[in-house]
Amino acid sequence: MSEQAPDLLFDLNLTEEQRIMRESLARFSEIEVASISRQADEAGQAPEGFYDKTAELGLSLLSIPEAYGGAGIPRSVLSNMLNAEDLGKGDMSLALGALTPLSFVNMLLDYGSEDQQEKYLTGIADETFKIATVALMEPRATFDATTSSTSTIETTAVLSGSGYVLNGEKSMVALAEDALHILVIARCDDDVGAFIVDKGTEGLTIEKEKFMGLRPLDLCRVVLNDVVINVDARLSGEAQPFDVQRLVDLGSIGLSAVVVGCCQAVVDYVVPYVNERVAFGEPISNRQSVAFMVADMATELEAMRLMVYRAASRAEQGLAFHKEAYLARILVAERAMEIGTNGVQLLGGHGFTREHPVELWYRNLRAMGILQGVAIV
């Protein structure tokens, strides 16, 4: 008989370290994140000092080598995914903002040279919140980062003398206004590369964009007009060439995990509501239509979670995970919107008001269908 294929099942048992981290993040998410979610949405930005509190958790420092000021703990896609889910339960926008530097860190660890890692990771490894972000998406209807073709990426990097000249536009770049470094994904000849553009570089323009959801995330449009950077600003690790598909796939896992956390918040909110809300002399949960809707929400939530966990587990083991990440993203994008919509529906007219958080969750969940490149795992 031919050699058996590796077991495709995955272990759902958490390590002791993961359990401790989940307990800590669950408390932090409830006390420090969920409690300011509405305030942040109304203001369109995170409260002052919030991100410094998240920096104290060290989420961006864990996998940075000790030589560069980090904790030196081997990177774990599964652990990062669990962290994203727990923070997402508190608030999607604030979770994505808190984890934004991790996307930059992960790309440096995957594709950066030793010199690049020393130069940039040392500056990020601090107990105060240092912002670095990744710019992948472009403001065109034809842009699709999930395709294997490089033609959908129109931002260009042209080698000129001892550096590169970048031109193009990027959209939905998290925290770009305050970022020290932006990792720009651009087409270079027939390939795609990642280029570090520092804050204040001539020709770099950043404009805040306005969306119905994720308001505190400060999503921005980044315009590059003949931006000149040194040749050593291109990620050039010897271990592996830059892989834009891997960036997209890790982003699918990371964003899906945050969305699963948000959907858990929706379910946790509506279950006691329908049990306590009385109409015609009885709780509305006694009505089959309501009970079936809640059951469907809980079922879809667990299906979403398992799909995301499986994709993260395969990535953790070094197995191919593109298919699993893509399927998880498709399922989460569809079912999360159903959960968000049903959350509003189950509250009736109250769901449309800002007295309850379901309308906020609904608006944030809409982003799942369009946001890409959030490689926070």
For 318-353, the pLDDT digits (tens) are 999 999 999 999 999 999 999 999 999 999 999 899
> Once rounded to an integer, what is the mean pLDDT over residues 26-54?
94
Domain ranges of the chain: 16-129, 134-233, 244-369
> Given the DSSP bridges, would you call strands 204-208 and 220-230 parallel, antiparallel or unpaired?
antiparallel
Given a cut of 50, whether residue 259 has pLDDT beyond it is: yes
pLDDT: is 336 or 71 the higher one?
A: 336
Cα 3 off chain centre by: 38
First-to-last alpha carbon distance for the chain, in angstroms, is 38
Query: What is the band of 4 on the pLDDT scale with cuts at 50, 70, 90?
Result: very low
> Once rounded to an integer, what is the mean pLDDT over residues 360-374?
90
pLDDT digits (tens, 9 = 90+) for 213-224: 999 999 999 999
pTM of this prediction exceeds 0.75:
yes
- How does DSSP assign 232-294, residue by residue? GGB---SSS---HHHHHHHHHHHHHHHHHHHHHHHHHHHHHHHHH-EETTEEGGGSHHHHHHH
Given a cut of 50, whether residue 282 has pLDDT beyond it is: yes
Rounded Cα–Cα distance for residues 117 and 110 (Å):
10
Given a cut of 60, whether residue 149 has pLDDT beyond it is: no
Output the pLDDT for position 5: 45
User: The domain 16-129: what is its CATH number?
Assistant: 1.10.540.10
Output the pLDDT for position 128: 81
Output the pLDDT for position 323: 95
Output the pLDDT for position 239: 57
Output the pLDDT for position 48: 93
- Tokens representing 121 are 């990771």
Asked if 186 contacts 193 with a C-beta cutoff of 8 angstroms, the reply is: yes
Cα–Cα distances in Å, from 218 out to 60, 67, 214, 319? Answer: 19, 32, 8, 34
> Once rounded to an integer, what is the mean pLDDT over residues 274-288?
86
Query: What is the band of 377 on the pLDDT scale with cuts at 50, 70, 90?
Result: confident
Q: What average pLDDT does the structure give for the chain?
A: 90
Output the pLDDT for position 63: 80
Output the pLDDT for position 143: 82
CATH class for the domain made up of 244-369:
mainly alpha
Output the pLDDT for position 312: 95
Rounded Cα–Cα distance for residues 306 and 287 (Å):
29
pLDDT: is 95 or 70 the higher one?
A: 95
Topology of domain 134-233, CATH: Butyryl-CoA Dehydrogenase, subunit A; domain 2 (2.40.110)
Output the pLDDT for position 148: 52
Residue percentage of the chain with pLDDT more than 90: 69
- The H or E element containing residue 132 is strand 132-135
pLDDT digits (tens, 9 = 90+) for 297-310: 999 999 999 999 99
197 CB-near residues (< 8 Å, 6+ apart):
166, 181, 182, 183, 184, 204, 224, 227, 229, 233
> Once rounded to an integer, what is the mean pLDDT over residues 279-303?
92
pLDDT: is 126 or 75 the higher one?
A: 75
